[in-house]
Structure 1
Amino acid sequence: MCHQILTPFGSDVHAGPEGVIRDHLVKLICIITSKVLIILCGLTLLYSTKTTRRRIALLIENSAYSDLQILPSVINDVRDMRSMLIKLKFKVLSAENVDLAQLYAYEKEFYREIKPNDAVLIYFAGHGYHCKNDTYFIPLDHKRAGSYSHQQLIRRLNKNKENIIFIYIIDTCPQNSVQCDNIPMKTDKTCLENPHIVIYATQLGSKAYDYETKRWQVVGYKNGQLTSGVLKHMKTPNMDIRKMAKMVKEYVKLYATRPQLPEMQDNCLNESFIFNSIEHEEF
């Protein structure tokens, strides 16, 4: 706090020009000090906001189906995504070619790892389908055991967890034919306990494509179309996830070997999330 300079008798009288200069210097120092404190407080708040959330991720790929089309890029997708997320300071749990029981086991292991204030990323790559307002991931033993519901996964992961943000990247084809008669309709449109964003490989009801080996590899690509775009743009410094999703959509539209438009659904996420913030700038 800046105090007035007083004489021993408490008066406000200064001795000539020197007193005036001294007053101006004191006021100037006070102004500069207050501005510096405001800037430092702002930088402290910005830094603490960026570093508050711990980052964890669950990555699952299925490509070695015995009764569905083989997906040659998917194993590359999950391994490259794992490497990228580790660089971006995520703790990663990943699995390849799993049946339904293994899916639930990995989910339970991952659920136990989630703590308050975490930023949680879930990535699925493989075959899937869309049915009655829900998307499903197809395990290797789907004919015997059934499929894995995305909406039910969201509900389970939200149970008893506080102040979490969830990011789902679903690199599956939602147009696979499936019998929906025995699958209940999902009608819940309200905000869930924790906000989340979902990035789908394509618009619901449309088809997503794996790379075409000859054409895709000629130009040096080894990943599927959505994952190629995500890997390219998630490393861009200080890009919010919503902007990243738009850039991925434009990337796929421009470079895809077949028409495919990724889709993003934002459920009540009211804060920014940046994959490669300043303190992670290493690309």
Structure 2
Amino acid sequence: MNSLRAAVLLLLFFVGSPVWAEKRVALVIGNSAYRHAPQLANPQNDAGDMASKLTALGFVVVTGRDLDLTGMRGVIREFVGKVEGADVALFFYAGHGLQVNGGNYIIPIDAQLKSNNDLDFEALPIALVLAAMERNAKVNLVFLDACRDNPLATTLARSLGTRSVVVGRGLAKLDTGVGPLIAFATQPGNVALDGAGRNSPFTSALLQHLGTPGQSITDDLIAVRRAVLQVTDGKQIPWDSSSLTGPVVLNPAKIAETPTNSAVFRGKSRGTGLLV
């Protein structure tokens, strides 16, 4: 009798718990404690809270906070080792970033960027992470809360003088192949707000709306955009670029199987959190 009761309780546990059939892997980095620039209040919190959020959504999460260059390379390499064959790969970064000649970089806490030569040795191109994701995963999602006002970009721009190298505000638009969705805290070339609370306005909205049951990530990001517009009085407009080939749902609702909804999308990413 006891064994029967235990079996029933086990069955109820699995029925009432979300089951993730896909392989989901995430890289989450938050850098706050910069050594050669004013420290940022939110990114460390942003990374910790986002890691918890993604774990609840079925991701295996590789997390790094307040990383120097060696530390950042280490967590990226760990992530690349886990992401091979993933159905969904996700990259979240909060901290300083900059664009130089249209290329985007994420900045370790030990960077100084006193000259153009330092860029190759003290910063990491975002393209490094994106390339690994595109090689290994079917669906790629990127969230960049790295458009803050960056004094290191000012230092680098000043060192270049009149040379034909452009250090831009915020981040630049990223060109990718088929499959990724890339979301920025604000429009390309603009600067986002840090906010006065535990999280930045962008990350706070992501924590609230990402993985809404039964809702596609496209609709999640519309809700994020509305929330950030409201809390910043219209000063910050989150922006995204997508080449997804189907509706990605991170938290599928229980949908009755019918011929209609079973044929919504059939393509490369079948069975990867998409409605299929």
The secondary structure found in structure 2 opposite 1:202 is: coil
Distance 1:117 1:92, change over 3 A: closer
Instruction: Please state how far the C-alpha of 1:53 moved relative to its aligned partner.
Output: 2.6
In structure 2, which of residues 189, 197, 220 is the aligned counterpart of residue 205 of structure 1? 189
Query: Which structure 2 residue ranges, 5 or more long, are not aligned?
Result: 1-18, 113-117, 167-171, 255-276
For 1:121-132, list aligned pairs within 5 A.
121-132=90-101
Which residue pairs with 2:209 in the alignment?
A: 233
Measure the CA separation in 2 of the matches of 1:158 and 1:122.
Answer: 12
Deviation at 1:182, TM superposition (A): 6.2
Query: 2:257 maps to which residue?
Result: none
Matches within 5 A, 1:112-127: 112-127=81-96
Distance 1:121 1:251 in 2: 22
Seen in structure 2, the aligned counterparts of structure 1 residues 259 and 272 have a Cα distance that, compared at 3 Å, is same
Structure 1 match to 2:69: 100
Q: Find the counterpart in structure 2 of residue 172 from structure 1.
A: 146
Cα distance 1:103–1:200, how it changes in 2: closer, same or farther (>3 A)? same
Q: Deviations over 1:21-43 (max 9, x none)?
A: xxxxxxxxxxxxxxxxxxxxxxx
Note if contact 1:198-1:265 (Cα within 8 Å) is conserved in structure 2.
yes
Q: Identify the residue that residue 10 of structure 2 maps to in structure 1.
A: none
> Retained in 1: the 8 A contact 2:211–2:249?
no
Per-residue deviation, 1:112: 1.1
Give the whole-Å Cα distance in 2 for the aligned partners of 1:256 and 1:248. Answer: 12
**Contact 1:175–1:206, Cα closer than 8 Å, also in 2:** no
Alignment match, 2:131: 155
For residues 84 and 189 of structure 1, do their structure 2 counterparts lie closer, same or farther at Cα, with a shift above 3 Å needed?
A: closer
* Residue of structure 1 equivalent to 2:221: 245
> After superposition, what is the alpha-carbon deviation per residue over 1:43-64, rounded to whole angstroms, capped at 9, x for unaligned?
xxxxxxx955311111111100
Change (3 A) 1:76 1:117: closer
Letter in 1 for 2:244: L
CA distance in 2, matches of 1:271, 1:261: 24
Q: C-alpha deviations, 1:228-261, integer Å up to 9, x for none? A: 1101111421111111111111110001268111
Q: Once the 2 structures are TM-superposed, how far is the Cα of residue 142 of structure 1 from its aligned partner?
A: 1.6
Distance in 1, matches of 2:111 and 2:249, equals 36
Cα distance in 2, alignment partners of residues 152 and 240 from structure 1: 27
State the secondary structure of the residue aligned to 1:278: coil
Among the aligned pairs, what percent are the same residue? 26
Q: How does 1:27-176 map to 2 (within 5 A)?
A: 52-143=21-112, 145-159=121-135, 161=136, 164-173=138-147, 176=150
Report the number of matched residues.
216
Distance 1:77 1:188, change over 3 A: closer
Distance 1:72 1:187 in 2: 26
State the AA in 1 paired with 2:146.
T
C-alpha deviation, 1:95, in angstroms: 0.9
The 8 Å contact of residues 134 and 140 in structure 2, kept in 1 or not, is answered as no
CA distance in 1, matches of 2:59, 2:29: 15
Asked if residue 191 in structure 1 is aligned to residue 190 in structure 2, the reply is no
Aligned-CA RMSD value: 2.7
Task: Supply the distance in 1 between the matched residues of 2:63 and 2:220 (Cα, whole angstroms).
Answer: 23
